[in-house]
Amino acid sequence: MFWADSVAQELKKRKLSLEWVDDMKTPSGKIHVGALRGVVIHDLAFKALKDTGVKTKYTYIFDNHDPMDALPVYLPKEKYEKYLGMPLFKVPSPEPGFDNYADYYAKDFINVFQSIGCNPEILWASELYLSGKMNNVIREVLDKASEIRKIYEDMYKKEMPKNWYPFQPFCPNCGKVSTTTVTDWDGNEVTMVCEMNKVKWTKGCGFQGKISPFSSKKGIVGKLPWKVEWAVKWKVVGVTVEGAGKDHMSAGGSHDLASEICKKIINYPVPYPLPYEFFLIGGKKMSSSKGLGSSASDMLEILPPQLLRFLMVKTKLNKAIDFDPSGGTIPNLFDEYQKAADVYFSRSASGGEKRDEDLARVFELSQVGEVQKPPMIRFSVLAQWVQMPNMEEEIKKEGLENWAKYAGIWVERFAPDQDKFSVQKELPKEVEELSKEQKQLLSKIAKELDKKWEGEVFQTRIYDIGKESGLGGKETFAAVYKSLLGKDHGPKAAWLILSLDKKFVQKRFLEASK
């Protein structure tokens, strides 16, 4: 059974009145494709739950109140340095038309996940605080600060300061959050300081005073440290299913700490976890390979939405996805997708034969909207078509424009040299290598071009002419390729010839046969 369906079956036994699936991310810059894997995994759990008839809901929380703790390399340092340490929703957007920095990067990511068929309800952490819903639990964790200190100490085997409190105010003077520390809690207010040198990358202002830790419609006054906050959000929102990447799910990691807070402090059942492996680009977690950035939106430039989704749906949670777009990776992915479609659509056709139900389900869950039958043509052939002149008509006739666009991108950016070709404007020097028989062959083909040909028939005819001239298949087609492309290999010869202007080919073959 497909993993998400097994999870749904297991969850169904809990008989909860509502299964609330949630995922989240801090929009601190362009969002990495690894986070997209999280969105898809939670979407699969959500859809599988729906399919089993369990009442379910899917939300995505953007932690827009987290501080800006580093400057992305693609942003101007002069403009953004002064915002380091401030909550992301207080930082201006890099582009006009967005409320703030977090809004800009979150919306870029929302566009990507919506276009691959994931439509969670969006929640903003800032609004959770502004709504006042967090306040009761904030009081609870401040009252139990000493117990939380003990959880940290047991887990990390290091002593916590006796005046450590699980709260970080937004400095009322300078607005920063990374620089503040709470040193006391009297049941109404926290005592805080904005430290000059708390972190290396930005300075505090030195403010000291007492403030209420309770946010209201008037504004947000602070936030919980994120591991504690993760647990509190589960309780406040009502989350029952939430996983994370393996960096958070390892032993002693943030998930372990949040789980302890759930059990020992706020009395809330830990959501069903969905731990998953990384999504690497060319073996690396971050960085770029062959001009491909590793952000989620970069991936949509090189793969159609269904294929990007398929890549993630087909990979088991505990397996890393290592996507290196160079070489044959992309054509292979298209082949696999078509194979999965064949299995899916063979339901009634195959009669008694047992089909691979998991693969059929993978195909079904890779769809964006209605189930769509993919084109029959192999991607590698389409990649040849887009390199031939005068094929636009054929591509349009077969309804292949969309895939042809991606084939063109693959040829331009990722195809190995052996898969690239272009018809040479001048007679290639490689024709000097042609044998007497090959030259004979070319002049015979030139003559036959006056007849009207269909691709398949003409391909056989070329092969037969070669045989008449005493040539094997390989030598026959090499003669065509050398005289047109200056290479000894290429796409199917008949289609290549028929895609070109007849007069041009006749002239070229006659020149080459001299």
Closest to Zn ion by CB, 194 or 446: 194
Residue 415 tokens, joined: 């195809």
Q: What contacts 477, CB < 8 A, 6 or more positions away?
A: 462, 466, 489, 490, 493
Burial of 497 (0-12, 13-18, 19+ CB in 10 A): buried
Sign of CA dihedral 66, 67, 69, 75: positive
Q: Does 193 bind Zn ion (CB under 5 A)?
A: no
* Count of CB atoms situated within 10 Å of the CB of 49: 24
Task: Tell me which stretch binds Zn ion (CB under 5 A): 47-55, 110-118, 148-156, 190-198.
Answer: 190-198
Nearest approach, Cβ of 149 to Zn ion (angstroms)?
Answer: 25
Site for Zn ion in 205-264 (CB under 5 A): 205, 207
Dihedral in degrees, nearest 10, Cα atoms 205, 211, 213, 217: -100
Task: Tell me which stretch binds Zn ion (CB under 5 A): 168-176, 231-239, 262-270, 459-467.
Answer: 168-176
Closest to Zn ion by CB, 195 or 277: 195
* Residue whose token pair is 């031939």: 388
Site for Zn ion in 414-433 (CB under 5 A): none
Task: Tell me which stretch binds Zn ion (CB under 5 A): 188-196, 293-301, 443-451, 462-470.
Answer: 188-196
**Size of interface with Zn ion, in residues (CB under 5 A):** 6
Closest to Zn ion by CB, 171 or 480: 171
Residue 96 tokens, joined: 């006009």
**Whole-angstrom distance, CA of residue 461 vs CA of residue 445:** 9
Is residue 327 classed as helix, strand or coil in its secondary structure?
coil
Nearest approach, Cβ of 90 to Zn ion (angstroms)?
Answer: 13
Nearest approach, Cβ of 191 to Zn ion (angstroms)?
Answer: 14
Q: Which of 389, 381, 373 is nearest to 410 (CA)?
A: 381
Task: Tell me which stretch binds Zn ion (CB under 5 A): 182-190, 199-207, 261-269, 333-341.
Answer: 199-207
Task: Tell me which stretch binds Zn ion (CB under 5 A): 44-52, 133-141, 172-180, 277-285.
Answer: 172-180
Closest to Zn ion by CB, 183 or 254: 183
Query: Of the candidates 111, 131, 146, 173, which one interacts with Zn ion according to CB under 5 A?
Result: 173
**Whole-angstrom distance, CA of residue 480 vs CA of residue 241:** 61
Pairing of strands 190-194, 208-211: antiparallel
Binding site for Zn ion (CB under 5 A): 171, 173-174, 194, 205, 207
